[in-house]
Amino acid sequence: MRIISIVGARPQFIKASAISRAFKREHSENLEELLVHTGQHYDDNMSQIFFDELDIPRPHFNLEIGSLTHGQQTGRMLERIEKLLLLKKPAAVIVYGDTNTTLAGALAASKQQIPVIHIEAGLRSFKKAMPEEINRIMTDHVSTMLFTPTQRGIQNLLREGFSLEQYAPPTMDNPAIYPSGDIMYDNSFYFAQKAEKTSTILRRLQLRKERFVLSTLHRAGNTGNPDRLYAILLGLKKIADSKTRVVLPLHPGTQKQLTSITNQAFVEEINNHSYIDLIEPVSFLDMIMLEKRAEMILTDSGGVQKEAYFFHKPSVILREETEWTEITENNATILTGANSGKIAQAFLHFRNYPPEDYPEIFGNGDAATMICKEIVTKLA
């Protein structure tokens, strides 16, 4: 049985590592996995570093698409993935999450009636202005097997006409949905052990003893709007002004958008602030160590807000809504949007009243084993 996994963006390399590990461990005799990298992310610290560090096999194919407009990027991926699928004729295609890579992979495969397996299905922000929301909905509705990390994901799919009852082998017209738990929960704990042994980030940034918060920022709705970008950075600066270190590994897209802020003197202040560590993106093992040691995490990332919860850290979500509503329901996060005052208030709230409890809502840490077994038994 040949499966093609399609990845292209930072979080997808990390997610794919959990599935590749489980395939190798349990099904290496009867399954061949080919990895396709679309090239959506291409800087060494957005791509290669994850392959080096997480023992992911080198991609069998790199389509080298790069940064383009949404239409160009998705269109070029679609064309090249189609060619590859015609050549390699896989039994199924796996796509992850909600990026343009996800959508292109799902469209190319479904048009050839190749079953699409969507990992991290069913999530919704209910905001179609978000490019990811369109990618998720479209991908879910051409998928054959949908693995959902949370109960809310299942509820969303049921509302859109999917059913939990399954009488026959899954097909595109008769898709199967599964509450599988979250493969990132698997990954965070699997790699935390390695991170403890090998990461040097805390020493490099001299953070071993000092209290700090961690922040990431890359969501298009924030970085593509200079006023929002400014307001969020102002919120982070207020925290830094109170003499708490803010560690900010900045996505390259956000770094480029800093020039769009009218007040460049402010950008200069951020760059030179003695309590702000504005650094390049870090490796996943370094990220884990920063997350484990941070007092709290301020982010607009989907993955990072969950990792905060995995490691029992409060998070401040720099958006108006989240797909991971279970985290909000457990009072482990505050949604601030791009409001500098609310960001500073949320920081103070969690400093004074950290959450007491982080109930398990992301599965048992072994989602990948269940997913791979289901794929092999249902599609073989």
The catalytic residues are 218
247 and 212 Cβ atoms separated by less than 8 Å: yes
**Six-digit token string for 378:** 């249902």
Q: What element of type H or E holds 32?
A: strand 32-37
State yes or no: residue 11 binds ligand UDP (CB under 6 A).
yes
- Whose Cβ is closer to ligand UDP: residue 8's or residue 11's? 11
> Segment contacting ligand UD1 (CB under 6 A): 19-27, 29-37, 96-104, 227-235?
96-104
Distance of closest approach, residue 249 Cβ to ligand UDP, in angstroms: 4
Shortest reach from residue 24's CB to ligand UD1, in Å: 25
Is residue 61 within 8 Å of residue 84, measured between CB atoms? yes
Site string for ligand UD1, 270-299 (x = CB under 6 A): ------------------------------
132 near ligand UD1, judged by CB under 6 A: yes
Roughly how many angstroms between the first and final C-alpha of the chain, as a whole number?
7
Q: Which amino acid is at 114?
A: I
Interaction residues for ligand UDP, span 22-41 (CB under 6 A): none
Q: Which two tokens stand for residue 48?
A: 């290669």
- Rule CB under 6 A: say whether 216 interacts with ligand UDP: yes
Separation of alpha carbons 261 and 270, rounded Å: 12
- The piece of 37-45, 139-147, 203-211, 239-247 that touches ligand UD1 (CB under 6 A) is 37-45
> Is residue 123 close enough to count as binding ligand UDP by CB under 6 A?
no
Q: Can you tell me which of 281, 314, 363, 365 binds ligand UDP, judged by CB under 6 A?
A: 281
Residue selected from 40, 301, 339, 369 as contacting ligand UDP according to rule CB under 6 A: 301
Angstrom distance (rounded) from CA 163 to CA 169: 14
- Per 3-state DSSP, what percentage of the chain is helix, strand, and coil (rounded to 5)? 50, 15, 35
**Closest Cα to residue 153, out of 180, 175, 174, 135?**
180
Q: Binding of ligand UDP at residue 303 (CB under 6 A)? A: yes
As a whole number of angstroms, the distance between CA 106 and CA 77 comes to: 11
In the structure encoding, which two tokens stand for residue 340, read together? 């500098």
Q: Which residues bind ligand UDP (CB under 6 A)?
A: 10-11, 14, 216, 218, 249, 281-284, 287, 301-304, 307
Q: What residue ranges bind ligand UD1 (CB under 6 A)?
A: 9-11, 40-43, 46, 67, 98-100, 131-132, 218, 220, 252-253, 256
